[in-house]
Chain A
């Protein structure tokens, strides 16, 4: 939208439309200042919607789903433990873990996924506009998906509690000493939880850049580093009552049955997800899956032909609207802005008959930058 008459439209856009887009141009900067997004030429709208809008929707939905999943699982485990601790609201995990779980251990990985994830890259996004339909149909995050996420959390929490519970019944260390104590159980449960969450995030991510892999594995390494530090002698001697878990990591993480339990729990949470996704991929592949499959096989489609960098010879920049002036209606209806002189190596121009979009052709762009030169020709 351009011009001050669309100022009001942009401002009320949140009630009617999803976003307001302003084009900075000849009629001033009013629309730009009051819109959610702004750019310089109308043709960039395609990229905004099909590439960035689509990615944004995908990332937002994945973020929401993962965030609900990790927090519901975390909470449901406490719910199951309530049956075994006299409903006294005793936490399963170490209190420091609870504090740091959302702040440190799972913060950066989620951020990495939300910033960098893409399903197909920008050129394929432009080539297959049908990929935009899931966003319009609200497919990736709806009430149904929320309920599915809750059920998945429920299942994961059952595994994350009851497998350690069963494995720790009446068991001891390999030298006969205690391992079924509260602190070892907490450490076991929290390690299982974090490993499952990290692997689940990796499964959810389609686009594995070095940055988000560093975030994921770095956070897991940070968990072990921080935990071992907090359970060390030094921290206990300095802040005695804040670090009561001293010695727990040394005494329980050296036991093979603890690691076997962690291994079993993690795989039992992850493998059904992998199997389910694989089977759904075979039985009901979405347009998204098909394009991603094609992407792996074929080279990138030809990019939109690059037109020579244009100079906007716009002289009439001003901060005031021209709605009281005659406007550009005459210019538009006279069709003088259509290019008449032959192009050097460019295919067809603005032909109003068939839409390139419908034919899945790469969209070729035109500009109206040369209007000043054309102003002379009728």
Chain B
């Protein structure tokens, strides 16, 4: 019969998918799951919080500001913008053994490495060793792509140009005599930065790759002469350069300068008096920035950050409190069964 076939042809599919009868779980927030869940999460958080807090407490940090704003600061004489090649001396003492390995950071504040135009101001092709980009830097580097004589700047851009150039020497004062503390600058940047992201052009000697280019305006020496003592630490894979190029997320940041792990200081910095000689080159006072040095040791959770421990403790306690509140609400206003 024609009409039967016509009906069957028009009939919609009767599968679970098309008729919206798919097998499903229909969870509902029931007291049996929510309240014990909150208690468990609360207790777990309190446990983690205690571990984090205790670990953070065990990390030692020593911060010394050396911007030189106050008149009685040792670096006050260097803070004047007209003074060049100034050297200042910070004296400090440590009461008890500063457990090693000790990491030596420099810190800057009010410094917006995350400013959008600053962050975009580099040429990734140049930095991965592409010689074509040496002759024609990308215009994202502008105005630090060509100098006033129209010669290409290598490495171009504001990030490279603003590289931190204070240097530090740490001495331990023993019986009036200064003993140099060896600082280790190897492997302070990420492995992937050193081995993959930044590559020197494959020209030997490296100096030849930089023919017909100029160094960034604020740099004292060109890229191929960044480290006279270690030939593997020159060009774009210089560790200090890599650490600087890894721009910070927030305006107050620290960057790793050196490690103190060798010789007598393998166990850490013993108690005593120390003297830090700083070659003060980097100007920060024009934008109200500050500079500091930080000595710190690390643990499984990284550097000293009390926030995580405290946050976990607070949230854990709130969870337990909420579970008690919910229990009271549930007991008093039990879900009415009748509709």
Contact = CB atoms under 8 A, between A and B. Distances in A.
B114 to A, nearest CB: 4
Nearest to A52: B20
Interface string A291-313: 11111100000000000000111
Contacts of B302: 171-174, 179, 255, 257
Interface string A195-219: 0000000000011111100000000
B220 to A, nearest CB: 24
Scoring A86, A211, A287 by chain B CB atoms within 10 A of each residue's CB, the highest score goes to: A86
21 contacts: A86-B114, A90-B115, A170-B305, A172-B254, A176-B259, A177-B190, A178-B190, A180-B248, A181-B248, A208-B25, A209-B24, A236-B197, A240-B130, A247-B197, A251-B192, A260-B52, A275-B34, A275-B38, A278-B34, A282-B334, A292-B26
Contacts of B304: 170-171
A244 interface: yes
B115 A86 contact: yes
Contact of A116 (B20, B31, B190): B20
Interface in A212-249: 233, 236-237, 240-241, 244, 246-247
B250 A208 contact: no
Interface in A242-274: 244, 246-247, 250-251, 255-257, 260-261, 264, 267-268, 271, 274
A116 B254 CA distance: 50
B300 A174 contact: yes
A167 B123 CA distance: 31
Contact of B246 (A178, A236, A237, A292): A178
B196 interface: yes
Contacts of A348: none
B14 interface: no
A85 B115 contact: yes
Given A251-B190, A279-B326, A282-B335, A184 B3 contact: no
Contacts of B34: 274-275, 278
B101 A176 contact: yes
A169 B253 CA distance: 8
B189 interface: yes
A368 interface: no
Contacts of A292: 26, 28
Interface residues of A, number: 81
Nearest to A237: B196
Given A90-B114, A264-B315, A175 B298 contact: yes
Interface stretch (B206-214, B275-283, B306-314): B306-314
A163 interface: yes
B134 interface: no
Interface of B: 3-4, 7, 20-29, 31, 34, 38, 41, 45, 48, 52, 101, 103, 107, 112-117, 119, 123-125, 128, 130, 138, 188-193, 196-197, 243, 246-256, 259, 296, 298-305, 307-308, 311-312, 315, 319, 322, 325-326, 329-330, 333-337, 339
Nearest to A206: B26
A185 B249 contact: yes
A346 to B, nearest CB: 22
A151 interface: no
Q: Which 6 A-B pairs have the closest CB atoms?
A: A247-B192, A185-B249, A90-B116, A88-B116, A176-B103, A172-B303
Interface string A109-136: 0000000101001100000100000000
Q: Main SS of chain A's interface residues?
A: helix
A16 interface: no
A264 B119 CA distance: 29
A182 B248 contact: yes
Nearest to A213: B25
A174 B301 contact: yes
A279 B329 contact: yes
Contacts of B26: 206-208, 292, 295-296
Interface string A330-353: 000000000000000000000000
Contacts of A233: 192, 196
A183 B119 CA distance: 11
Contact of B256 (A177, A244, A261, A313): A177
Contacts of B315: 264, 267-268
Contacts of A176: 101, 103, 188, 256, 259, 296, 298
A84 B251 contact: yes
A8 interface: no
Nearest to B27: A208
B116 A180 contact: no
A3 to B, nearest CB: 20
B335 A177 contact: no
A283 interface: yes
A356 interface: no
Nearest to A233: B196
Contact of B301 (A86, A257, A277): A257
Interface in A130-167: 163, 165-167
A309 B189 CA distance: 77
A208 B45 CA distance: 28
Scoring B112, B307, B322, B329 by chain A CB atoms within 10 A of each residue's CB, the highest score goes to: B307
A247 B189 CA distance: 12
Nearest to A182: B249
A274 B29 contact: yes
B310 to A, nearest CB: 10
A320 B158 CA distance: 77
A182 B114 contact: yes
A84 B111 CA distance: 10
Contacts of A116: 20, 22, 24
Contacts of A278: 29, 31, 34, 326
B250 A165 contact: yes
Nearest to A163: B311
Contact of A247 (B119, B190, B336): B190
Nearest to A173: B302
A84 B41 contact: no
B329 A283 contact: yes
Contacts of A173: 298, 302
Contacts of A251: 190-192
A167 B308 contact: yes
B307 A167 contact: yes
A277 B191 CA distance: 47
A377 to B, nearest CB: 24
A285 interface: yes
Contacts of A274: 29, 34
A291 B339 contact: yes
